[in-house]
Amino acid sequence: MLPENIPTVTVTGRYLAPNGRPLTGSVTFRAPAVLTFPDSDVILGGPVVATLNAAGQLEVDGGPVVLPATDAPGMDPTGWSYTVTEQLAGVPSNRAYNILLPAEFPDVDLADLAPTDPTKPNYIPVEGPKGEQGETGAPGSRIYSGTDTPAAALGVDGDVYVRYETSVFLGVTSTTVSTWQKAAGAWAQLGGDVRGAAWYISTTSTPSASTKPGDLLLRTDTGDIWQRNAGGWGNTVGNIKGPKGDQGVAGVKGDQGAAGTPGAPGVVQSVNGKSQAAVVLTAADVNALPESGFVSGGNLRLDSATLDYRGLTFSTGNVPRWVYQVDNAAEAGADAGSNFELANWSDAGEWKSAVLFGERATGNLGIGTTGLIPGAKLTVAGPTAFKNTAAPTANPAGAAVMWAEGGAIKVRQSDGTVFTLGAGGGGGAVSSVNTKTGDVVLAAADVGAATAAHTHTAAQVGALATTARAAANGVASLDASTKIPIAQLPAAAGRNMWTPQALGFQAWSVDPAHVANPTGTPKAAVIQRLYMSGVNITESTQVNRVVIFARGWAGSAAVPAARFYVGIYNEAGTRVATSGLVSSVAEAGQLTGTAPGAVNNHIGAVPIALTATATLAPGRYWAAFLMSAGAATDFYYMHVQNESPSAPANFFMGTTFQRAWCLNSQTSLPATVNQAAGEVGLDPAIMALAMV
């Protein structure tokens, strides 16, 4: 910023292609030598390069082009002009020409100065005689627009406000336009809302609160058409289903088929191929298992057609393999004979038939019975029984083998490990847990400490004793608010330190005490520049204010044209909280007890309320501040002095998170932001979050 006693000229210009598309490139303004201003103790040197923004307009660092006047008093040398060089993308021949910028014309546009004839590249405006001062005209009316109703502080009498209210209902986006005019200091709507009729499609009845009179609704389930009136949907006005068609012409009747042979009424002619007068079906007739297959009724035997015994093959047709037999042990009561036996008669080809060889059958498995077959019963009754057999010697692949040996149950696993179940085999089976048997359920107290009633200590089960709570080398306890008491925190974890909460905040982008006070001219917030400052949230936190540290803000009463937005964005760039448009913000540094230097210079925290309290889950966020309207010197902010792309705040690894960046040309808070499209070469604003 130039000293105030050096007269300046603001230069504007807009470059468009013949089709109206904004051009890109730059325009350089170069003085012929270093300029010295002895009265201001300033030496200026070097060119000024203005770039074309998205609208094709000249700007420097997001603002206008401001240059020293060529006839500034006390300047050395004198009698010179600026050389203007255009570098425009897509233009084959760029121009270079000279212009004078006298202080008498503080605002000029290059369109009024640049040469129009390429053969006359140099053009120096000749100052004409100054005309008489004209009469001051009446102030004209201004037209504002927005999505909300106009704020009371906006505009003056005679101004007009156009509201564009957009809504989405049943997939249809509609915009309602209303016009307001300010009179006697208050805004009043002119006429009613204006919006074209909309068609909606639904399969059910639909509320009418989000619709306007004149809208139409098609019910696809009934075909009915409804039209909205002032009181709601009212009655149907039509149906898309057409009237029922005429009856079609009857087809030609076919020929009569041949008559079938009549049967005797109520008499079965045959069943499964049998045609006797009294049909008797066997199990084989209906592909069923026979009711009796071995000794007596209720037994079932699975047979084989042949028998291999000691190298001999017998074709008997009734060789039993497996027998399912009702237990024939003497029992009393209603459930007599309810047990059964499962016997394998020829597991290894060693079935011995009493019919062939006069020997008894020898099965090796019984379930829920006291014997395997009649005459070869086990001597001990029980729900499940295994007959003693020789131990297997091979390891079962992908399985385990269980058998009875010496009256005890043994298991051989696929890795060859053999163990005995139960105390009878001495295999080390668990008989109780902490003196509990059956279906054991352990409580925390069961493993909390070693006592006479607990045979396992806390260390044996990998747990800490309850006495370790809040003890040395133990564990921390929680207070009534589920927080760790400060006395149990180490000194490096927040004890005896300045935290955001100690100064009334919930979180902040940086501790202001760690920032050097910016030197030189105070930094003013750039109009329509969205400032983003990173905030780290480590626990669920509620906030309802975004606070910016002001170095000079006199309040909306002194600066009524200033307009603000604040908000919060998550790490994905999605806006999670907003203030909406704010036109009334109290001056800074006026809290009771503030020193006069801060009070008189309006220095301090400036809180701006959100529209609703936001609950922030743990994660990384950006606090956002935007001055959307006002003058370039209305709001001065405290900042980390580092107007360079190498800002230390943007030092990270892993997932990218820029703690300090900006977006230009923003008139309100966007729904989403992309940090990759931001500018990091700007002085970061110091911000905080608060819950008031």
Cβ neighbours, 10 Å, residue 437? 9
Class of the domain covering 501-690: mainly beta
Question: Among 136-140, 483-487, 647-651, which range has the highest average pLDDT?
Answer: 647-651
181 phi and psi, to 5 degrees?
-135, 140
Position 328 scores a pLDDT of 52
Structure confidence at residue 622 as a pLDDT band (50, 70, 90): very high
Q: Give the position of tokens 């030609």.
A: 252
Q: Is pLDDT above 70 for 177?
A: yes
Pick the more confident residue, 346 or 545.
545
Rounded distance between C-alpha atoms, residue 524 and residue 531, angstroms: 12
pLDDT recorded at residue 419 = 82
Q: Is the pLDDT of residue 451 over 70?
A: no
Q: In what order do the strands lie in the sheet with 401-405?
A: 401-405, 408-412, 418-420
Residue 217: is its pLDDT beyond 60? yes
The more confidently predicted of residues 375 and 512 is 512
* More confident: 336 or 440: 440
19 or 586: which leads in pLDDT: 586
Asked if 239 contacts 222 with a C-beta cutoff of 8 angstroms, the reply is yes
- pLDDT tops 60 at residue 450: no
| 104, burial (CB in 10 Å: exposed 0-12, middle 13-18, buried 19+) | exposed
The CATH-assigned architecture of domain 8-113 is Sandwich (2.60)
The segment(s) of the chain belonging to CATH 2.60.40 are 8-113
Residue 119 pLDDT: 53
Residues above pLDDT 90, as percent of the chain: 33
| Delimiting residues of CATH 2.60.120 domain(s) in the chain | 501-690
Q: With bands split at pLDDT 50, 70 and 90, how would you rate the model's confidence at 216?
A: confident
In our burial notation (b when 16+ CB lie closer than 10 A, e otherwise), range 402-418 reads: ebbbeebbbebeeeeee
Contacts with 219 (C-beta within 8 Å, 6 or more apart), sequence order: 202, 203, 204, 205, 225, 226
For residues 366-381, average pLDDT: 43
Report the C-alpha gap between 270 and 162 in whole angstroms: 93
**Whole-prediction pTM:** 0.37
- CB 571, CB 674: distance < 8 Å: no
What was the pLDDT predicted at 301?
59
Per residue in 260-287, pLDDT (tens digit) is 666 556 667 677 777 766 778 777 777 6
